[in-house]
Structure 1
């Protein structure tokens, strides 16, 4: 079993749900408290032992590449101003030389196509896939848990969470098989099934470990829902010859691609931080109480 050393993070999406803000900045650079959404995905990957990150970018995403580059003028200004804490925090976030790659998805043909665009950099080895819109919140990152299950099972591993059984038509749903090392075998994968047809209420939450054979499948994958190349369709084909297991994530994944998920993530991360918790708790509690009073009145 090969070690998972590389992670793919697709950042080519247009972010139309956050217009007009995303006219001028990538959605992945919107901040949860004081870090861009994409930084949380990178932190999670590094925590899990990933050594090389591949960003799949698109037009007008150069800001992301600049963000992960060194900015000598900024570092010099912080040094001369004596802001050593800020300087240290920025240096801690700086990727090691050669540990980050960027490749371009020239046209928006879907998630499956974005993953396929990373094939030459990933090569013939298993890789992690993190959807940056999904921000992991818990004692440890979601990918670390997937990695632990992968080391026991090999093959392909997905992270899952449970949704309201009446809302399975919003997600990619997996069938639950035999329990395996804190996870379970995946018996089937269905994209947005009706509640009456769903094999379970476990949905794929945006974290994967996939074997490199997925690239050959994606290269010949026909377009599916939305006239796009769908990753789930390719995974179903891969499952015909390889195992898939699921890791139930014990934390919470915030969908920061939606306005409500983005706001919820900001509140959750702010309240979890010692430096600002006391500054925001009472105002948030008062706003909630005020809304409750209005609703009752």
Structure 2
């Protein structure tokens, strides 16, 4: 399975830090945010990544490319530990390619930009703003790997969710599930409600930013009409899949972190520093 990572956004919630540096390249401890996401995909067995990018995001592609001059200098100076870290930026066996999103027409449109590169096949989608801290989980299998395993049973799309406090449901897309669900398991969904009022929320299970979707998603993305903000929304296409009865919510283990805004990034930095 190939994974799509949309990185074409301007990162306005991280300004002015993201004015000249892609928000995905802002460093968390010893590596940029995007590297954590790539490593998560690699741990789940994914070997090919498609970055949906923008002209101002070349630093991301450069980060995962080989820098022969830098490696030669490190080798000549005997800095072999650093050299090994530089060479392992792109995990062994991982292929990373990119395609540009010429206009910011929404997440659904960004995913469509990568269609030809994945041959209209099943896909995983990882949003780079979100990091998943699996170290805080007691489960042996990482979340993305577990989602792919569940998907491979009967091709039911998997959308990762996490419990949030009742007062915070207004900030997220919320899953309306069938029956009870426990961490590390999946249940069918009746639909998703975008940023519901507290008294209208069907649950407190918020969509996290990880998706494993069947190839049937592509026609729905193509047919999707502009939604919120005049953009093509991935959620609208997934809702169409829900009506076909082929989507489940996967209740993640561990903890997620939204690094797409300053406070979330700072909180993540502190937690990762304390657990490094």
**TM-score relative to the length of structure 2:** 0.92
* C-alpha contact (below 8 Å) 1:123/1:212 kept by paired residues: no
Matched, 1:202 2:198: no
The yes-or-no answer on 1:257 pairing with 2:260 is yes
Matches within 5 A, 1:53-202: 53-95=49-91, 99-139=95-135, 141-178=142-179, 182-202=185-205
Shift of 1:212: 1.8
Measured at CA, do residues 138 and 96 of structure 1 come closer, stay the same or move farther in structure 2, by a change above 3 Å? Answer: closer
Q: Tell me how many residue pairs correspond in the alignment.
A: 269
1:266 pairs with 261, 266, 269, which one?
Answer: 269
| Residue of structure 1 equivalent to 2:138 | none
Point out where structure 2 has 5 or more consecutive residues left out of the alignment: 136-140
Structure 2 CA distance for partners of 1:136 and 1:51, relative to 1, 3 Å: same
Give the alignment partner of residue 39 of structure 2, picking from 13, 38, 43. 43
- For residues 104 and 192 of structure 2, the distance between their equivalents in structure 1, rounded to whole angstroms, comes to 24
Distance 2:153 2:268 in 1: 31
Please report the TM-score for the alignment, with normalisation by the length of structure 1: 0.86
Q: Which of 1 and 2 has greater Rg?
A: 1
Structure 1 distance, partners of 2:180, 2:154, is: 12
Q: Which residue of 2 aligns with 1:214?
A: 217
Q: Residues 156-203 of structure 1: CA distance to partner in whole angstroms, max 9, x if unpaired?
A: 001110111122111011112145882211121111111111111101
Q: Is the 8 A contact 2:159 2:207 kept in 1?
A: yes
Give the secondary structure class of the aligned counterpart of 1:159.
strand
Q: Following the alignment from structure 1 to structure 2, what is the Cα–Cα distance between the partners of residues 153 and 98? A: 26
Match of 1:291 in 2: none
Instruction: After superposition, give the CA deviation of every residue in 1:14-34 in whole Å (9 maximum; x if it has no partner).
Output: 011111121111000001111
1 CA distance for matches of 2:7 and 2:142?
20
Provide the alpha-carbon RMSD of the alignment: 1.7
Contact 1:126/1:212, CA 8 A, preserved across alignment: yes
